[in-house]
Structure 1
Amino acid sequence: MNMMATQASQQGQTLRPSCSVAGGLFDAAGILCRGHRLFAAVLRLLCPPETEMHAARLAPRKCMTTLNKWRRNMHKQIRGKRPSKAWMAAGSLVLGCLMMALNSTSAIAQDASGPTKIRFVVSHRSALLSTLPTYIAEDNGLFKKHGVSVDYISGSGGGSTLRLLSTGDVDMAEGGTPAAILAAHTDPNIELVEGWARSASVMVWIAKKASGITSPDGLAGKKLGYSKAGSASQWLAEESTHRAGVKNVSFVSVGGMGDNWTAVKGGVITAGWAMEPFLSEKIHDDNAVVVLDPSRYIKHYYLEGIAVNKKFAQKHTAAVKGLFEALDEAVQFIKANPEKAAEIGTHHYKSSKAVLLSGIQAYLKNDVWNMKVDTAAFNTVMKGMVDSGLIDKELDMSKLVKQTYLPERLRTPF
């Protein structure tokens, strides 16, 4: 009798610590799993078959209730002299929870690193409607969706915008297509990826309604303004009037759109170049009329080119593709919701919703924001560079345009 009592007492002394430690393991599991949805996965592995389907749908709080029930059952199993099974279950549960905790830590660390940052300089971003998709993508969270964070910088245009790529001050740049082509051709640190604003209709020439001019024919013997030598405005003015057969036109370097319109009103020139939303503002508010639309004579054209810093793009190819994915989604949003897009635009441009909507509708009609590569547009610009003396001979654009940085649906074989 005394021997049996002694054995029971010794056995109890042995089991109590086991019970305490096993309980501690379950407490640890509870802490690790608290509020963790993946706890259901552990339960699916450990719960009896009749509770398996239910466990898969447990809410976090119910998971903790189930865990506590398991803890009590383990205590009973230990007291019932079945410690091996209890330890196996407890160990498995804790191991599973530890794995989940480690995975969570890894995920948190990954989230902490955040999306890939891209420094992107864009010519006259806040002044030109052609850049609207960049604002839509930003405001609608499309960049974040595709794993990038874009730090936009407004550039002054031309070669100065593209030079920032070579020095590594920015990762991507959008500037005049001739400047982008020239940079990619002469600088090994720069690669040309895509064109932007793929229609010559984005830049037109306006005159005073009182001038009585309603077509290019009325420009014979007149003066047309452009921005500066070697610019897109100079080439478009000269090339479109040549193709239209207009005689004796002279061309004057005046500067920006505002300067051109001032020169028109002052009689210095007959017509000056304009782009949206400035264009719609002058038509709606200042009796301007379009007298020359280059897209009537030049069917394929890119106003801007998008280039990348080669080292950055090769290291972060997925991020560069993500940026183009986001911009293309923004374009689709504009197509489906032009009025909403105009409303968003009012937060970024100094123009009314009505003016912006007018410009958006014109751009959609002319497919300005179509992001699928237009090979003929690149070739048009390149040939224009030869004509104006920027380059000596035609370039092989199929080698110069690196479409591997684009989503496949936006690529076009040359």
Structure 2
Amino acid sequence: MKHTARKIAGFLVTAVLALSLAACGGSSGADSDDNRLRIAATGTDSLPFTAILQVGIDKGWFKEAGVDASMVSGGGGGNTLRVVSSGDADLAITGSSSVVLAARKPAANLSVIGSWFQVNDFHWITPDQGAELKDATLGFSSAGSATELLVKALQEAKPGDNIKAQAVGGTGDNWAAAKAGRITAGWAMHPLVTQYTEEEGAKTLVAARDILGDHPADLVAVNNDYANDHADELKAFFQAAEKSFAYVRENPDEAAKDLAPLLKMDADLIARAIKDTPDYQRAYSLTIDPKALKNLSDLMQAAGQIEEPIDWSKVLDQQYLPQSAQADLG
């Protein structure tokens, strides 16, 4: 009986110690969960400016900054945001207009905390060398996406051209639809603009930047419940993201080699495409561009998505960004 009592006592002591360690953060699993950040992003397998985050994760830059980050590929626009609103992911990087509209709805439980890829790199490409913008049907990805916004803005900017719009999906689907004659031109960004131009003779029917100016391709939205408990992790995310962007700016050829297996493309082509990207030094930066944000607001208003201009000083919470990336939005 004494032996049994000692065993029971020993078990109780062990259990109490285990509970104490867990309460004090002694469990490695608890630590892992506490600094975990699940990122839902559009184009992780096709766009360098989101795929570069996976490069940063693989190189350990996020863990060095203090966050255990992982990537989830989103379907674009509202589809990417839904997994964050539901709590299945913590942070989303996706179409700017969808982020703005979702953040206005309390049920979405989202806040806008960053601006992503600061230039307008959207092109509409076609296999038809004789195609013209007049009477063209332009493909876009999905409702609430940046590409839908831009097609609407092009329709507004060129009312006499009778531009039509068709939801198609990703760049590959758009290019296939253009080659099949279902649409006149499909949307693409670099490196696919470079690839389709070099390898398949694509013609740029319209570069949206030439008509509509710059705006951020995406905005960064966070689940409010996550933000309330993980301010340090969000700051760490932006710190590591800026390091990843700096890698592209300063060493595009080396960055292209790391991006190649993720994008399943030739590294030399990716390097050329990065350098072909309009003002890529500014594009691959977290620095808030007030003019680009104002232009986004103007485009959304012109497209009928919002009635009043966006007050970015209230909509965009910059507290998690590096000080050097913040801007006066007053």
TM-score normalised to the size of structure 2? 0.82
**For 1:292, what is the secondary structure of its paired residue?**
strand
Q: Report 1:10-409 matches (<5 A).
A: 113=31, 116-187=35-106, 189-201=109-121, 203-208=122-127, 211-212=129-130, 218-240=132-154, 242-243=156-157, 247-363=161-277, 365-366=279-280, 367-409=282-324
Aligned-pair distance for 1:224? Answer: 2.4
**For 1:347, what is the secondary structure of its paired residue?**
helix
> Which stretch of the first structure deviates more once superposed, 346-355 or 264-273?
264-273
After superposition, the C-alpha distances for 1:266-309 in whole angstroms (9 at most, x for unaligned) are 33332221123322221121111222111122333011111112
Figure out how many residues of one structure are paired with residues of the other and give that number.
Answer: 301
Which residue does the alignment assign to 1:101? none
**For 1:273, what is the secondary structure of its paired residue?**
strand
Q: Is the 8 A contact 2:76 2:142 kept in 1?
A: no
Higher relative contact order (CA 8 A, sep 6+): 2
For 2:92, give the aligned amino acid. Answer: A
**For 2:92, what is the secondary structure of its paired residue?**
strand
Question: 1: CA distance between counterparts of 2:163 and 2:304?
Answer: 20
The change in CA–CA distance for 1:308 and 1:283 in structure 2 (over 3 A counts) is same
After superposition, the C-alpha distances for 1:78-122 in whole angstroms (9 at most, x for unaligned) are xxxxxxxxxxxxxxxxxxxxxxxxxxxxxx959883581111111
Question: 1: CA distance between counterparts of 2:272 and 2:65?
Answer: 30
- Among all aligned residue pairs of Structure 1 and Structure 2, give the percentage whose two residues are the same amino acid: 29
The change in CA–CA distance for 1:167 and 1:231 in structure 2 (over 3 A counts) is closer
Aligned-pair distance for 1:181? Answer: 1.0
TM-score normalised to the size of structure 1? 0.67
For 1:190, give the aligned amino acid. Answer: L
Aligned-pair distance for 1:242? Answer: 4.8
Aligned-pair distance for 1:141? Answer: 1.6
Aligned-pair distance for 1:341? Answer: 0.5
Question: 2: CA distance between counterparts of 1:250 and 1:179?
Answer: 21
Aligned-pair distance for 1:360? Answer: 1.4
Aligned-pair distance for 1:143? Answer: 0.5
Question: 1: CA distance between counterparts of 2:79 and 2:178?
Answer: 28
Please, which runs of 5 or more residues in structure 2 have no aligned partner?
Answer: 1-24
Q: Which has the higher helix share?
A: 1
Which residue does the alignment assign to 1:95? none
